[in-house]
DNA sequence: CAAATATATTGTAAAAAATACAATAAGCAA
DNA sequence: TTGCTTATTGTATTTTTTACAATATATTTG
């Protein structure tokens, strides 16, 4: 390589994944316990330097799977962080990705140099190394924006869900309360959310109707200029 | 450096700037004519490899100034592109930024290895090297989203502007037409847009009233939960 | 089995916002 | 004075948002 170019080709790139998971306790984020330097023995976002023969988006998926066993997630790029001194080993740019999953549908298992992998309640996250706290804050903002504009919320609930569950989900993520009647009115006015005819059972109170999300209908609406907006 | 790490630290990072400019002809994008390899003698987005001792956001500003002379712009990061084969010299990740300016307020002058710098109408952009066409498309989408949500449109017009000019601006960027009466109603209902008491002169028809944008009032509204939305 | 408990479900009126639609006004030029 | 060009304005209708509380249905308890 040209000597003039040499000096540019000395950077590393990492990905850091912010995986949000939802369960009955609310919104959580997945962290790993680092078993490798730098910042060995810290909880951190599951991220790693990426191999230079792999496309960026593919790397995000690979890194996550390699550290936590999670696979088949849809990951979205959110932003690149590139402060000069963000990594002690040299110039490392990190590309942050985020994903949103239903915790009970996946099993996380620490792998590679990750000693543990665990879910932390979103309001109870420890100090993280690098600029991971900053990344997490940014991801939370993105999540709020996205969940208002895209029907990703449904992917966090069981296939059949009650409107109360849905409302709790939105309230947890947006950190905001909605009027029960108005919320239901709005949701039911979107005709890609359908009554299954089923009801909850084994609950100690009036059982709620179960609904399901119809992605096919949603996609049809989207293409005809519909705008999901909570 | 640890030999195991060596292999990661061989990437380069570039920034590519999508600078949108508005004038009476509509929306334009700034391109440079490359006087350096690769893709010498092509029009391309003003971008360059970045020096590894500079923060990412600073690099975006520096690169743009170095190639086009533009400075004191507010640049926003939009996305990182990292296909393995996007650059012929090696693994180069590029971070795309965008900015929005009033053409007549700035003078562009090709510098460094840029042989020319010129504005191209947004609907008349040539084939670009690397993945620059893809980056540009992405930036256009971002611009549409942002201009609906933030009052950045005002930064593209003279300090004093007419409502017709403002409407033409929005119509050019969003590629959509608005009803004259409803548009004015909506704009004037935002009380951070004020009548200056002045009128156009030297026009060959009824002169329009001149308005101005009051950023201070807007910021006050924002912090109290107001949501700009066109 | 009646009462208590817990959550689910529903409607309506008022206010606000969005939409559709066309006539008149104010300059300049011929 | 007339014609040309762009600027400006209002109203009725529809749609959407908001605020607000009583009743229903299941289980558990006494």
Any idea what DSSP says for residue B68?
A: H
Distance from CA of A130 to the nearest CA of B (A): 15
Mean pLDDT on B80-98: 97
pLDDT in tens, A131-162: 999 999 999 999 998 888 888 888 888 899 99
Choice among A15-24, B88-97, B152-161 with the minimum mean pLDDT:
B152-161
Cα first-last separation, chain A: 53
Q: Name B123's bridge partners.
A: none
- Judge whether residue B220 has pLDDT over 80: no
Q: Does A197 touch chain B (CB under 8 A)?
A: no
Q: Which of B12, B56, B89 sits opposite A80 (nearest CB)?
A: B56
> What confidence tier does B151 reach under pLDDT thresholds 50, 70, 90?
confident
Residue A19 has pLDDT above 90, yes or no: yes
Return the residue in B5, B11, B81 with the most chain A beta carbons within 10 A, the one to mutate for interface testing: B11
**Which nucleotides in chain C have some atom under 7 angstroms from a protein Cβ?**
5-12, 18-22, 25-29
Q: How many CB atoms lie within 10 A of CB A2?
A: 9
pLDDT score, position B219: 82
**Cα separation, A64 vs A46, whole angstroms:** 6
pLDDT band at B225 (very low <50, low <70, confident <90, very high): low
Share of chain B above pLDDT 90, in %: 74
b (16+ CB within 10 A) / e for B149-185: eebbbbbbbeeebbbebbbebbebbeeeeeeeeebee
| Displacement of CA B126 from its chain's centroid (Å) | 18
- Mean pLDDT for B182-188 is 95
Mean pLDDT for all residues in chain B: 92
Per-residue pLDDT tens over the stretch A74-106: 899 999 999 999 999 999 999 999 999 989 889
The per-residue pLDDT for A4 is 84
Which residues of chain B are within 8 Å of residue A82 when distances are taken between CB atoms?
13, 55-57, 59, 95
Residue A222 scores a pLDDT above 80 = no
Cα–Cα distance for residue pair A60/A142, rounded to 1 Å: 17
Q: Quick one: pLDDT band at residue A47, thresholds 50, 70, 90?
A: very high
Confidence of residue B202 (pLDDT cuts 50, 70, 90): confident
Q: Are B15 and B50 in contact (CB under 8 A)?
A: yes
Alpha-carbon distances of B95 from A32, B13, B37, B212, rounded to whole Å:
27, 7, 19, 34
Give the pLDDT score at B200: 92
The per-residue pLDDT for A93 is: 98
Task: Determine phi and psi for A19, rounding to 5 degrees.
Answer: -105, 115
Round to whole Å and give the CA distance between B15 and B99.
13
| Best of A16, A80, A131 to mutate (most B CBs within 10 Å, chain B) | A80
Cβ contacts of B203 within 8 Å, gap of 6 or more: none
């Amino acid at each position: 390589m040209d000597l003039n170019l040499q000096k540019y080709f000395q950077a590393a790139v990492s990905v850091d994944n912010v995986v949000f998971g939802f369960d009955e306790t609310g919104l959580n984020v997945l962290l790993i316990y680092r078993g490798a330097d730098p910042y060995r023995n810290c909880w951190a976002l599951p991220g790693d330097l990426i191999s230079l023969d792999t496309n960026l988006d593919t790397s995000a998926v690979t890194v996550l799977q390699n550290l936590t066993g999670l696979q088949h997630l849809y990951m979205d790029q959110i932003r690149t962080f590139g402060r000069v001194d963000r990594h002690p080993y040299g110039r490392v740019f990190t590309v942050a990705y985020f994903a949103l999953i239903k915790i009970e549908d996946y099993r996380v298992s620490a792998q590679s140099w990750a000693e543990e992998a665990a879910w932390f309640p979103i309001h109870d996250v420890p100090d993280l190394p690098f600029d991971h706290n900053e990344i997490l804050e940014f991801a939370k903002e993105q999540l709020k924006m996205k969940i208002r504009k895209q029907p990703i919320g449904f992917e966090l609930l069981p296939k059949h869900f009650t409107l109360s569950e849905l409302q709790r989900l939105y309230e947890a993520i947006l950190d905001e309360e909605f009027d029960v009647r108005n919320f239901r009115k709005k949701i039911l006015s979107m005709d890609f959310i359908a009554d299954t005819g089923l009801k909850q059972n084994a609950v100690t109170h009036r059982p709620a109707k179960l609904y399901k999300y119809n992605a096919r209908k949603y996609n049809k609406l989207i293409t005809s200029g519909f705008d999901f907006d909570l």
